[in-house]
Structure 1
Amino acid sequence: MPNILITGAASGIGAETARLFHSRGWAVGLLDVDRDALAGLAGELDGAWYVAVDVTDAEAVRQALAGFCARHDGRLRLLFNCAGVLRFGHFEEIGLDEHARILDINVRGLLQTTHAAFAYLKATPGAQVINMGSASGLYGTPHMASYSASKFAVRGLTEALDLEWRRHGIRVGDLMPPFVRTPMVDNQRFEPPTLRRLGVRLKAGDIAEAVWRQARGPAVHRPVSWSFKLMYWSGQLSPSWLNRAVMGWLSREG
């Protein structure tokens, strides 16, 4: 039975991905800081394994990986790095500690989890890492500057590891959706102009389906939604000044 370990699994995209893979016969492992929500989801998914863990705690992450993979003969077919946080607002009005927290969870947490998973991935034929990227990793997005910076880091790490880990037979890719209707987006107090103009057309279940497709395809980057696919591929061909102009229009205040 193939297995998947999901960080940020207690709600939103992580929880929907857990439900989807469980329904299709995968063994599911759940990691999140929210112990009560994890327990509730694990109760819903018969046989799901879970442990409450902060992805910024390297030793706790290492122990969690060891605990889950010990149940599967030291193997890990798929790691889905979904844990992340977001804050909309003007850069200078957000405290420095909040900017640091975004980078800590979205980048360092992902690094630590992927590093701890390496030995188990290497031991598994067809192993794969899927990182939760973002459309904001294509061009820096105003009013979510530190989040956008974190997703550029995720994109760079994804590209580098996909090349570097070829010798181990491990594929690495990411998902790049625009805004998704999740509690993380719904609970924001500031609405970026970009969100107002583009709207929120994706649900967590749409991203779970993209994870499923990514688990079966060779793509390094998987843009999600037809509108962003068009933006993504045109962005690969367009001059940088045009990409900047489009983002400037989307993010214009007033």
Structure 2
Amino acid sequence: MGQANGRKSIFITGAASGMGLETARLFASKGWFVGGYDVNGAGLAALEKELGPDNCIVRKLDVTDKDAYEAAVADFGDATGGKMDLLFNNAGIGAGGLFADMDFADNLRVVQVNFIGVLNGIHAALPLLKATGNSLCFTTSSSSATFGMPGIAVYSATKHAVKGLTEALSVEFKLIGVRAADVLPGLIDTPILPEGAAANAPKEGMFRAIPPVEVAKVVWKAYGSDKLHWYVPPELVELDKMATNAPEATREQFATTGPLAGLLAQAAEAAKNKG
């Protein structure tokens, strides 16, 4: 286990792959001490080997286990002298399908990882964040937090919750000298995507496939900024504005041109014939 020895430090969940892995690499290249946490033990071992054991601490962690999360934060604090410059709540899972057809247990697991896991992390890390000047609590939300996305309804709901939590805490945490912000990524080419999704994505526009290193770059920029919401790619902010200003029009656009438009039309026709 490495020691920070005065270096700035970042605690990253979901660090074994995708956006978390790229963030760990980027911050390590900038001279930061990295805490990497994931359920993927093999991926963490590879990360530790890549960064060097003197530059990081890695630990297998299920973010839904609050006791385990608190123990991981305690170990991190031992290595950093009780400091944490940046908490990156990044771990997340997805489950797709029509809500009426999905196994309810799968939906609950998404809530547990994507939202309860974030609550666990912020609560556990807050003493270290408070003890560190200019610290940042940074969380992965999603473009699906701009408007509720059909086909990933519960996932989308958890990301709306993350966005709302971040907004509230960005105000509350001013009282204790901690900043809060989030990133709303679009289609990021990571293992969470269904097979072939990135290859079949549009080549242009807000839903083009984006390499995960672009999110890592945003995490780096966010540490030096007071900006609240970060969109990757940036044009996703227009979807957020549209959903706020014209929710009914946004709803109709998803229903008529979105990926579920065909299924919705079939369901309507079936209901008509049944009637």
Instruction: Kindly state the Cα deviation for residue 230 of structure 1 after the two structures are TM-superposed.
Output: 2.8
Q: Does residue 132 in structure 1 map to residue 137 in structure 2?
A: no
* In 2, Cα distance between equivalents of 1:226 and 1:176: 9
Question: Which secondary structure state, in structure 1, belongs to the residue aligned with residue 36 of structure 2?
Answer: strand
Instruction: Kindly state the Cα deviation for residue 35 of structure 1 after the two structures are TM-superposed.
Output: 1.0
The answer for the alignment partner of 2:44 in structure 1 is: 38
Matches within 5 A, 1:1-254: 1-46=7-52, 47-187=55-195, 199-236=207-244, 238-248=245-255, 249-254=257-262
Instruction: Kindly state the Cα deviation for residue 234 of structure 1 after the two structures are TM-superposed.
Output: 4.3
Of the two, which has the highest radius of gyration? 2
TM-score normalized with structure 1 length: 0.92
User: Which deviates further from its counterpart, 178-187 or 119-128?
Assistant: 178-187
Runs of 4+, deviation exceeding 4 Å: 195-199
* In 2, Cα distance between equivalents of 1:208 and 1:233: 24
Tell me the alpha carbon deviations over residues 9-57 of structure 1, each in whole angstroms, 9 at most, x when there is no partner: 1101100110011011111000111111101111100221101011111
Instruction: Kindly state the Cα deviation for residue 243 of structure 1 after the two structures are TM-superposed.
Output: 2.6
* In 2, Cα distance between equivalents of 1:104 and 1:204: 24
Question: Which secondary structure state, in structure 1, belongs to the residue aligned with residue 186 of structure 2?
Answer: coil
Q: Which 5+ residue runs of structure 1 have no aligned equivalent?
A: none
Higher RCO structure (Cα 8 Å, ≥6 apart): 1
Question: Which secondary structure state, in structure 2, belongs to the residue aligned with residue 179 of structure 1?
Answer: coil
RMSD: 1.9
Question: Which secondary structure state, in structure 1, belongs to the residue aligned with residue 134 of structure 2?
Answer: coil
Tell me the alpha carbon deviations over residues 194-232 of structure 1, each in whole angstroms, 9 at most, x when there is no partner: x67965421111111111111111111111214313323
CA contact (8 A) 2:135 2:179 kept: yes
CA contact (8 A) 1:86 1:147 kept: yes
Tell me the alpha carbon deviations over residues 161-216 of structure 1, each in whole angstroms, 9 at most, x when there is no partner: 1111111110001001111111110448xx7xxx6796542111111111111111
CA contact (8 A) 1:223 1:232 kept: no
Question: Which secondary structure state, in structure 2, belongs to the residue aligned with residue 185 of structure 1?
Answer: coil
Q: What percent identity do the matched residue pairs reach?
A: 35
* In 1, Cα distance between equivalents of 2:228 and 2:83: 22
Instruction: Kindly state the Cα deviation for residue 138 of structure 1 after the two structures are TM-superposed.
Output: 1.0
Question: Which secondary structure state, in structure 2, belongs to the residue aligned with residue 120 of structure 1?
Answer: helix
Report the CA distance shift for 1:73/1:226 in structure 2 as closer, same or farther (over 3 A): closer
CA contact (8 A) 1:174 1:222 kept: yes
Tell me the alpha carbon deviations over residues 55-94 of structure 1, each in whole angstroms, 9 at most, x when there is no partner: 1111100010010111111010000000000012222222
Tell me the alpha carbon deviations over residues 129-175 of structure 1, each in whole angstroms, 9 at most, x when there is no partner: 11000010111000000100100110111011111111111000100
TM-score normalized with structure 2 length: 0.85
Instruction: Kindly state the Cα deviation for residue 241 of structure 1 after the two structures are TM-superposed.
Output: 1.9
Letter aligned with residue 193 of structure 2: V
Q: Which 5+ residue runs of structure 2 have no aligned equivalent?
A: 1-6, 263-275
